[in-house]
Amino acid sequence: MEQIYDSTNQARQSLMFFESDLFKTVQISHIFTDSKTFADAIPRIAMNDILNEFNKISSNLSKAELLQFIANYFELPEYQSIVINNPSADIDKYIDTLWGKLEKAADKQIPGSLLPLNGKYIVPGGRFREIYYWDSYFTALGLIEANKVDIVESMFTNFVDLQKRYGCIPNGNRSYYLSRSQPPILGLMLELLLPFQDNSKLFLAQHLQAIETEYQFWMQGNESLSADNSEFKRVVKMPNGCILNRYWDDSTSPRPESYREDMELMNS
């Protein structure tokens, strides 16, 4: 399996780009109907060089000039339309064909917001060109029914790898998702895979640390909660003493993939 390059540094550079004047200018300009388009764009040269070029000419750029600048320095992502020629009347065959359309091979080394994965995986399609965390559990249920256990194992390994690299399993494999996760399904995916292992005890032992790390991520700050300090990140202490997990985003900034929409909501 090919090792991914320094994706941590890549993610850091991507997050810095989201704070730049160029990114904010483009996102609020209504150039793209979907804010996710520019958040997923791939720079053609080093990002610092692009930002330096923009700083030289950024004053009073027309919309056409801004579009030309983007075309010169970025490769825009494509909308992944799912087209099946001569679809079968057999629903099982139709779904099986869909899996092939939604499967992505292991990621190559590219700049931008994508957090590269070492193994193949399934994406939702359309504007969603990356893996999504809790969606993947329901995807896994279908894949197992379709006898595609190898893809489920690959996605599970991808999640464990993301956790090792970034300390958590993000919402999806994009840098702008690193500040938030989705309902944890790592243990559920492991449970799905156990019956297909030659040595289920060994498989479980190999991944217990990942399950423990997931638990600690969601329970961070649990021990310090009190009646006067009843909430911290993803944990809330209820009046009866029980601990409730909740959705939490570590970032308080507008979401890069929904920047314009968040800014409009904030200002409304």
What pLDDT is stored for residue 204 in this prediction? 97
Give the model confidence (pLDDT) of 122-158 as tens digits: 999 999 999 999 999 999 999 999 999 999 999 999 9
What pLDDT is stored for residue 3 in this prediction? 39
Q: What is the mean pLDDT of the chain?
A: 93
Strand, helix or coil for residue 222:
helix
Picking from 61-65, 168-172, 216-220, which range would have the lowest pLDDT averaged per residue?
61-65
Exposure string of 69-106, with b = 16+ CB inside 10 Å and e = fewer, is: bbeebbeebeebeeeeeeeeeeeeeeeeebeeeeeeee
Is the model's pLDDT at 205 over the cut of 50? Answer: yes
Contact 134, 182 (CB under 8 A): yes
Is the model's pLDDT at 4 over the cut of 70? Answer: no
Structural domains for the chain = 7-267 (1.50.10.10)
Give the model confidence (pLDDT) of 217-254 as tens digits: 999 999 999 989 999 999 999 999 999 999 999 999 99
Is the model's pLDDT at 31 over the cut of 60? Answer: yes
What pLDDT is stored for residue 6 in this prediction? 63
Contacts of 186 (CB under 8 A, 6+ apart): 156, 159, 160, 163, 169, 210, 211, 214
Helix segments in the chain, DSSP class H:
7-18, 21-28, 36-39, 47-57, 63-73, 91-102, 135-145, 149-166, 186-193, 200-219, 259-267
Residue-by-residue DSSP string for 147-194: T-HHHHHHHHHHHHHHHHHHSS--SBSBGGGTTB--S--HHHHHHHHG
What proportion of the chain, given as a percentage, has pLDDT over 70? 97
Query: Within 13 Å and on the Cβ side, how many CA atoms surround 164?
Result: 12
Q: Which helix or strand (DSSP H or E) is residue 237 part of?
A: strand 235-237
Contact 35, 41 (CB under 8 A): no
Picking from 71, 7, 12, 9, the residue whose alpha carbon sits closest to that of residue 42 is 71
Nearest-10 crossing angle of helices 47-57, 7-18: 20
**What number is the average pLDDT over the span 111-130?**
96
